[in-house]
């Protein structure tokens, strides 16, 4: 098993654990919309449920996403750095799936400072998108 496979498995295990914890809370009658575990901030004040949802999205796109060429329009930080130093960003992009019209989307993606050094507005990129929901995507390269 390679390094990326291990990272994907760890992300899936974390996502599964979050889903199981939320289900256990609901079964125990603990509200998850107003103070349950899934709503508690994690380390550095991060939203644990949001982190689990992001992880699930990245895993799904890694397994079944399709690539499309695109261009980056804007890059905006939307969060604070987490324990790894990565910060969530909103990246406005336009990409064109094969045989389809262009799609305009804002990708929410966690980026490390060194990744931002090579990213720029107007720069071409490759997007990996969900064929079932084409506006759900991540930047794969830039």
- Per-residue pLDDT tens over the stretch 34-77: 444 444 444 455 578 888 888 899 999 999 999 999 999 999 99
Percent of the chain with pLDDT strictly greater than 90? 57
Q: What is the DSSP letter of 92?
A: E
Question: Which is it for the CA torsion 127, 129, 133, 134, positive or negative?
Answer: positive
Q: What is the mean pLDDT of residues 15-24?
A: 58
Check residue 36 and give its pLDDT: 46
Secondary structure letter of residue 63 according to DSSP? H
Sequence ranges of the domains in the chain: 3-60, 65-141
Residue 138 has pLDDT above 80, yes or no: yes
112 versus 6: which is more confidently predicted? 112
Confidence of residue 2 (pLDDT cuts 50, 70, 90): low
Residue 124: left (phi > 0), alpha (psi -120 to 50), or beta?
Answer: beta
- CATH code: domain 65-141 is 2.40.50
């Amino acid at each position: 098993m390679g390094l990326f496979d291990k990272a994907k498995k760890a992300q899936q295990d974390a996502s599964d654990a979050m889903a199981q914890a939320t289900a256990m809370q609901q079964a125990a009658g603990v509200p998850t919309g107003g103070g349950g575990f899934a709503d508690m901030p994690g380390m550095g004040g991060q939203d644990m449920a949001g982190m689990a949802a992001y992880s699930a999205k990245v895993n799904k796109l890694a397994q079944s996403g399709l690539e499309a060429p695109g261009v980056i329009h804007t890059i905006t930080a939307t969060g604070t750095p987490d324990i790894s130093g990565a910060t969530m960003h909103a990246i406005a992009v336009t990409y064109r799936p094969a045989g389809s019209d262009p799609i305009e989307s804002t990708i929410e993606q966690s980026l490390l400072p060194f990744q931002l050094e090579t990213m720029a507005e107007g720069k071409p990129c490759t997007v990996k998108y969900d064929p079932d929901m084409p506006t759900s995507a991540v930047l794969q390269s830039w």
